[in-house]
Amino acid sequence: MHFISKIGSLKGNYRWWATVAISLGTLVTVADTGEVGVALPNIANDLDTNLGHVQWLVTGYLLAISVLLMPMGRLSDMIGRKKVYLSGIAIFVLGSGLAYVSPDFSTLLGFRVLQGIGLGLVHGNSMAIMTSIFESNERGKALGIQMTMVGIGLIIGPLFGGVLVGSIGWRAVFLANVFLGLLVFIFGMLVLNDRLDSRFKKNDSQGDFDFPGTFLSGAFLVLFLFATADPFNWSIILKVSIFLLSVAVLGLFVFWETRTNSPMFDINLFKNRLFTLGVVCRSLTFVCSATTLFLMPFYLQDVLFFEPKQVGLCMTTLALGLVIFGPLSGRLSDVVDWRIFAVLGSLMSSVGLFMLVFIGQDTSLWLILPALLLQSCGMGLFTPANSNAILGVVPKSRVGISTGFIQLLRTASTVTGVATATMIITWFMNTSGFEANVKDIVFGADPGIAIAFVSGLRAVYLVAAILQLVVLAISLVSGDGKGNKVYS
């Protein structure tokens, strides 16, 4: 049943009703990240686990999303986006409900991964739907709307999560997602209709589903992220071996995709200089932003001793810039050179990260909040413009898979950033003679524990700030993409 299509007077406004449906889904699923982020210190304390283990509530979740983004984007190109999108929402709701009743950390991690599987279907389609219901000359507007909803979700998530965790407990975060997810599912079921998507044509996406490509891309991501995140404290030889294996699997994926008649992802897109450099910049930017999103709640709660509600309020600063500058960057990148926003955004993010290099055990919020706000504003300027530039060289028949790939860059880079940051923090604490256990930081009698943690934190932000400057330099030389298309 398609509620909107049944009402003739509203049919002409389908794109706005569809925008509301997708925006609600984006709001709820992005807010989940902030809610769980605020809850992580409490989960670690309650379930008695260390920083290296608790990171897997983020890493496993994002890994599940990453593995499915491109395959589900391709599948939606073939069978319709509504089916895949709503199936993802349903799986997310199921995972949230099961996470709520999890008796221990391992079970919670398993159901957090199930949530991620659902969101692989959702995020592999949400941007594709948005860019399809708007004309190509309004693509930036669609991306700006998406960025606004991401920003609002990142504001609501930490606030809502802080209230729930502080008043009821961390399990309430997952229960809330059950009810919110059901609301999104019902509204999407009534509103979304592939037949009213002016740019979705099944005859543009003929061909078989690329099962070998799906397996190889998933295997590469799993191997690469396991080598990076080191969940089982493997030896350096084993980690290097797994990393080299991931590179070999990536080579097989590229070989297969250039030989098959129905590739999941068109490798020829990388012949376009703008596409390739845009991908590099996007990946590095999300590696940098992940360090703040993951580590800042631990610093605020375990070093500065803030309450969960206060942590949630502080973390909303990371979203304000997205809400303010995301729509602006999206709209204007349709008509002026996107590099203006990419360069300015990278500069602001880098300055914010450099400011965090000076944090200590009693740092004032007058340093922390402006630093987070600068990083947020930088992301708001950079991300929609970067997405618009990348999608500008993609053929219409590959919108689903390409937007899935863009989302994959975000999640895979975030996982890499979280894993790398955790590795640096753990190294600093271990070399100081301490275990990277959250309870040790909170209740440790030795003040050296917190000092080692903060020292690692400073190193993480210094590396991130330098990488963000690299993004700035690459954006300057990327070119505006005019006359630089692989496809006509």
Q: What confidence tens digit (pLDDT) does each residue in 315-349 have?
A: 888 778 877 887 777 777 767 777 888 899 999 99
The structure tokens listed for 202 are 């099944």
State the Cα–Cα distance between residues 382 and 328, nearest whole angstrom: 11
The structure tokens listed for 279 are 């991908």
pLDDT (average), residues 211-223: 84
Give the lowest-confidence range in 155-164, 408-417, 429-438.
Answer: 429-438
Residue 136 pLDDT greater than 80, yes or no: no
Q: Could you state, in order of their start, the residue ranges of all structural domains in the chain?
A: 4-209+264-476, 210-263
State the Cα–Cα distance between residues 183 and 448, nearest whole angstrom: 48
Beta carbons within 10 angstroms of residue 135's beta carbon: 13
Residue 445 pLDDT greater than 70, yes or no: no
Say which residue the tokens 């099962």 belong to: 211
* Model confidence band, residue 197 (pLDDT cutoffs 50, 70, 90): low
State the Cα–Cα distance between residues 65 and 320, nearest whole angstrom: 25
Higher pLDDT, 76 or 11: 76
> Cβ(413)–Cβ(445) under 8 Å?
no
pLDDT at 302: 78
Of the candidate CATH numbers 3.40.50.720, 3.40.605.10, 2.60.120.10, 1.20.1250.20, the domain formed by 4-209+264-476 belongs to 1.20.1250.20
Contacts of 329 (CB under 8 A, 6+ apart): 140, 144, 147, 341, 345, 380, 381, 382, 383, 384, 385
pLDDT (average), residues 45-51: 76
pLDDT at 438: 56
pLDDT (average), residues 302-319: 81
Higher pLDDT, 200 or 39: 39
Closest CA to 251 of 262, 267, 264, 239: 267
CA distances from 464 to 389, 406, 457 (A): 23, 21, 11
State the Cα–Cα distance between residues 38 and 50, nearest whole angstrom: 16
